[in-house]
Amino acid sequence: MNPGSNEAPAAQTLFRLQGPGEHCSLRLFPDPMGRAKAFAHGAGFALETQTKVPAKLREALERLKSQLAALGEGLLPDLGPSVGLQLWHRWPTNFVPPRPWDGPRRRLLSAVAPKVPDLELLDCLDAASSRVLVKRELVTGDEADQAAREYGDAGLAVELATGRSGPGFVLFGAATSDVLKQAIAAEELLHRRDSIGDEATRAMGRLLGYPTCCIEQLVHSNRRDDFHAALNNIPPAPIGPFEASMAWLNPGVTALSHFPCTLACNASRAKGTRLLKLAEQKQPGLIERWLGFAKRIHAIDREGRYLALDADGPPERPTIRAAHAYAGGTFVPCAELHGLTLVPDAGGLVSLDENLHCILVSDNRAWSR
């Protein structure tokens, strides 16, 4: 992309702005008419902040406004010696990352527990859970019918709403009609970017049993979806290792239906561990099999693959001994990645031979039951 030309960027580009103890994400997207509501405009594109900007970064972003063209090449303008900021490309310009959590709603633990019923349904039925609602997004009519039968067999009432973020439906299941009414009312307001939308997000989070700290982090995100929460809250590599039960980044092994506010969130870790034990009751031996894939470094690479990397060595220099990519509901071996050593690069990890670029990384090699 040439920021000096009149041609708009071909696709969105995401950046991370890192300052002393604070960070925020930025999105650069085509806006040839200059009409989009955004933080700044220039050269046929617009710049949007993905979260509420921390106070210490606000001044720096004001300076970025006047040098917006430099963002097109991922360059950091001269902001003065006292600022000390880093600007990282989180994704290549023309790369739109796959988002299986936005498609027909995934089944948690799908790659390691095919015999386990819907884990979110089990969570809703568990007396120890605060969850009173099951929600599936962007499902087709056939999938909605199948889920409605499944929820009905479990004693739940079902309601369909029109999807607000894409084609299809939003399917709700709950034990009472009152909960369904609350869910539909909240769903209709989630798109609002004001205090009413904030309260709707909190209401939906409570119905889904999310920890309060994670709900507040979701409210903090302007986009209010798990993908952008991951962009904003997964810390730059190298850091960790975190608990395997927090391996949210890889949809094949995650036991959490929400993105935790941090990868060290105790409430989310406890929830994930409880749900794993529920699944173990349905499929004995599941946790041992799950650990084989979950207790790894998880990453999304530049090719859009969801990787589970079994690696030796510290977070700042791991060497891969086994690798699998999650695809089509299962894990596929990636023998070509064996033996590669990774080092930090732009908030992610890159192999020494530069053949593997992991853009988003979560080191989940810790485990304590």
The pLDDT confidence band at residue 200, using thresholds 50, 70 and 90, is: very high
- A 10 A CB-CB count for 322 gives 16
CA distance 50 to 224: 10
Per-residue pLDDT at 89: 47
- Percent of the chain with pLDDT strictly greater than 90: 31
Nearest CA to 57 among 38, 74, 39, 75? 39
| Residue 103 confidence (pLDDT) above 50 | no
Higher-pLDDT residue of 55 and 275 is 275
Higher-pLDDT residue of 232 and 368 is 368
Of 37-41, 179-183, 195-199, 304-308, give the lowest mean pLDDT range: 37-41
**Angle between helices 266-282 and 286-294 in degrees, nearest 10:** 130
| Residue 338 confidence (pLDDT) above 90 | yes
The position carrying tokens 């917006």 is 68
Sequence-ordered strand ranges (E) for the chain: 13-19, 22-30, 40-42, 45-49, 86-89, 133-139, 157-162, 169-174, 297-301, 306-312, 319-327, 330-333, 342-345, 348-351, 357-363
| Residue 100 confidence (pLDDT) above 90 | no
DSSP annotation of 114: T
The pLDDT confidence band at residue 320, using thresholds 50, 70 and 90, is: very high
With H, G, I as helix, E, B as strand and everything else as coil, classify residue 16: strand
Per-residue pLDDT at 80: 42
| Residue 12 confidence (pLDDT) above 80 | no
**Angle between helices 266-282 and 212-220 in degrees, nearest 10:** 120
**Starting at the edge strand that comes first in sequence, how are the strands of the sheet with 22-30 ordered?**
40-42, 45-49, 22-30, 13-19, 86-89
- A 10 A CB-CB count for 361 gives 27
Beta partners for 173?
A: 134, 158
Q: Which backbone phi and psi does 22 adopt, to 5 degrees?
A: -140, 155
Tokens of 273: 């561990």
Per-residue pLDDT at 133: 96
CA distance 315 to 292: 18
**What does pLDDT average to over the chain?**
77
69: left (phi over 0), alpha (psi -120 to 50) or beta: alpha
| Residue 46 confidence (pLDDT) above 50 | yes
Average pLDDT over residues 67-90: 45
Higher-pLDDT residue of 160 and 76 is 160
- A 10 A CB-CB count for 353 gives 8
Per-residue pLDDT at 291: 92
CA distance 82 to 79: 8
Per-residue pLDDT at 62: 67
Higher-pLDDT residue of 273 and 98 is 273
| Residue 42 confidence (pLDDT) above 80 | no
Residues with Cβ within 8 Å of 360's Cβ and at least 6 positions away in sequence, in order, are 90, 230, 231, 234, 249, 299, 300, 348
Nearest CA to 252 among 304, 306, 292, 305? 306
Q: Which backbone phi and psi does 300 adopt, to 5 degrees?
A: -110, 125
Tokens of 327: 């695809």
Nearest CA to 261 among 223, 212, 295? 212
Per-residue pLDDT at 65: 60
CA atoms within 13 A on the CB side of 348: 22
